[in-house]
Amino acid sequence: MLTRSKSMSDTKISITKEELDEAIQKALKVVDDLYKMKLAMMQQRLHQQGETTSQLKEEVNRLEQYSRRSHLRIRGLKLEHGQNCKEAEDLTSTNIKLLKALKACSKVDSAWSWNGKIFAKLTDSYLQQTNNPVFDFVPITPTEIDIIVDNIKPKHSTGYDDISTTLIKHLKFELRTPLTLIVN
């Protein structure tokens, strides 16, 4: 029961305990409903993002595998400038033309193709022995390996082994002995 009494400057409101409890319960229900609604919206958004994330993961995996395959394909096919060899069919016809030209050449004893590669054996008369001196290579020292590693430019990208120049420079002292053995 709500009772009001008004005097000149004072307004007094009397609320019973039951009315106060009821008002608090209504306010709590409104706040609870609001939080439940926001929580449901957040769960729905999270579910949508989870689906999107899983779709993106599948797409990224597919593209990564495709890029690996195409990267290998691109790296595996080296073209000479001006050869206009772009497709596998062009490569096959180019190989056939090369094979026919090699077989017709008087300097070639025999020519054949194996695994997509062209091989040719030159005639004995074409190969001549020269009197050029035999090269005598001087063994390389670990100090020379250090100088070579120090002169590597850091801007160069990694090679086929994906080892960065920064890593090579950082591990110079550990690598110089094995590199010396490999080079010599």
Q: Which of 146, 147, 139, 103 has its CA nearest to residue 121?
A: 103
Identify the three-state secondary structure at position 3: strand
Indicate whether 2 belongs to any domain: no
Residue 54 sits in the same domain as residue 91: no
- Taking every pair of Cα atoms in the chain, the longest distance, rounded to a whole number of angstroms, is 132
Amino acid in position 37? M
Residue 69 sits in the same domain as residue 24: yes
Percent of the chain with pLDDT over 70: 71
Cβ(107)–Cβ(126) below 8 Å: yes
Cβ(95)–Cβ(83) below 8 Å: no
Residue 7 has pLDDT above 70, yes or no: no
Residue 61 sits in the same domain as residue 21: yes
Please give the mean pLDDT across all residues of the chain. Answer: 75
Q: pLDDT tens, 146-159?
A: 888 888 877 766 66
Residue 72 sits in the same domain as residue 21: yes
Torsions phi, psi of 141, nearest 5? -105, 160
Range of the domain at 161: 142-183
Indicate whether 9 belongs to any domain: no
Residue 147 sits in the same domain as residue 129: no
Residue 70 sits in the same domain as residue 25: yes
Residue 183 has pLDDT above 50, yes or no: yes
Distance CA 94, CA 89 (A): 8
Q: Which of 97, 148, 142 has its CA nearest to residue 118?
A: 97
Cβ(111)–Cβ(121) below 8 Å: yes
Q: How confident is the model at residue 171 (pLDDT cuts 50, 70, 90)?
A: confident
Residue 31 sits in the same domain as residue 49: yes
Indicate whether 11 belongs to any domain: no
Residue 70 sits in the same domain as residue 47: yes
Q: pLDDT tens, 81-124?
A: 555 555 554 557 777 888 888 888 888 888 887 777 788 888 87
Number of domains in the chain: 3
Indicate whether 81 belongs to any domain: no
Find how far residue 1's CA is from the centre of its chain.
74
Indicate whether 36 belongs to any domain: yes
Is the pTM of the predicted complex or chain greater than 0.75?
no
Residue 21 sits in the same domain as residue 54: yes
